[in-house]
Amino acid sequence: MARTPRATSTERLRTDVIVAIAGAHGKIALRLTRLLSADGDSVISLIRNPDQATDVGDRGGSPVLCDLESASEEQIAAAIKGADAVVFAAGAGGRGSAARTLTVDRDGAIKLLRAATSAGVHRYLIISAGGAEDPPDGDDGLSIYLRAKADADAAVQSSDREWTILRPGPLTDEPGVGRVRVDPTPGNGMVPRDDVAALLAGLLHDGRAAHRVLYVNGGDQPLDQALEAVLSG
């Protein structure tokens, strides 16, 4: 498939790009895969369980067995080689032990970042969380989760990749409404996973999103307009 040139931070990316998604069987990732595939992009779907391959393939992704927790940086780099962008959509989500939250949400994101550098993948998008900008210091699952996200975000921001950090508010499985609020500062309001996936697809195709930390919450502005407003500001 013909590859489009990599864009600078002020250029729009066209379709026909190759996107590698870590945590490809997640709820946002599956939605994103379907959107990207429908627009003509190719998706390398990193999964940890071979039983997830059918779900990923049904949405247009090419499943690759690669568990961030057990794979080496070299193995991950080989899996994403040739991609134009990577998306970190994996996460323990506060489920399970504190150790696994750190292993997946922090260490997995950093391992993918290093692998992207080794593989020459310039764009790196990470799904973080609202609250990671000032995580609490408690021992509960949410506090540990937000600190893990904060540590991962800090590593991404200090890298030389063309990174974008997206921090959604509380997520829902309600159908997307196509209306959001996108800001460079924290906001309030739940947001459907459908709308987060649609926003990610837009960010992947807009070079102006590089080196941005963005917050997305439910809102009244059409998604395209909300994205344009924050990226042109």
Phi, psi of 71, rounded to the nearest 5 degrees:
-75, 150
DSSP result, 52-81: GHHHHHHTT-EEEE--TTTS-HHHHHHHHT
What residues are labeled active site? Answer: 145
Under 8 Å between Cβ of 166 and 128: yes
Distance CA 132, CA 60 (A): 32
Under 8 Å between Cβ of 141 and 94: yes
Distance CA 21, CA 63 (A): 10
